[in-house]
Amino acid sequence: MSTRGRKPKPSQLKRVQGNPGKRPLNRREPKPQSAVKRPRGMRGLPRKFWDEYADELERIGVLTGVDTAVFRLAAEAFGFAIEAAEQLKQTGFTVDGRDGPKKHPLAQVWRDNAQLFRQFATEFGMTPSSRARLQLPAEAEQLSIADELMRAAAAMIDIDDGTER
């Protein structure tokens, strides 16, 4: 049975984002020490996503070896969303149905995977709102994961105006 209320935030994410409520951090929280390794069999966009962001998230302490399965799901959702968007650019957003044009099924694939990725990105502190709360150490302040992510996504496909870059 699930617990009530808001999901607890991992202590490391609290350290990075700050602890405005000054509540005590969980000192007994498990601290996995295993290294992050890319799972075998990753190809295409998910692999590029992994290679681009896993090292940075590991460096700031948000991603550990036990998180690889969840981070892989985030990478796969990112890849599916981008691939669906690219196919939608080529085929259009509607298909012919019995009663006239209807929404292309890939539009729902894009929406579902984009939403799933956004949830995973929030878990890893990669969304703009979670980035606004980040309080990184001085040497890490010059790097912005969310900016790099958005730049990479925009470079792969620009959904707004339908042009490739």
**Each residue's pLDDT tens digit, 34-69:** 788 999 999 999 999 999 999 998 888 788 888 999
The pLDDT value recorded for residue 141 is 45
Instruction: Give the residue extent of every domain in the chain.
Output: 11-18+38-156
- Average pLDDT, stretch 55-84? 92
75 close to 50: Cβ distance less than 8 angstroms: yes
pLDDT tens profile 106-149: 999 999 999 999 999 988 888 877 666 655 555 444 446 666 66
Mean pLDDT of the chain: 80
Question: pLDDT value at position 139?
Answer: 47
Burial class (CB in 10 A: 0-12, 13-18, 19+), 146: middle
**Mean pLDDT (whole number) for 154-159:** 59
Q: What is the mean pLDDT of residues 5-31?
A: 71
The dihedral sign for the CA sequence 40, 66, 58, 128: positive
pLDDT of residue 158: 54
pTM (2 decimals)? 0.65
Q: What is the pLDDT of residue 25?
A: 74
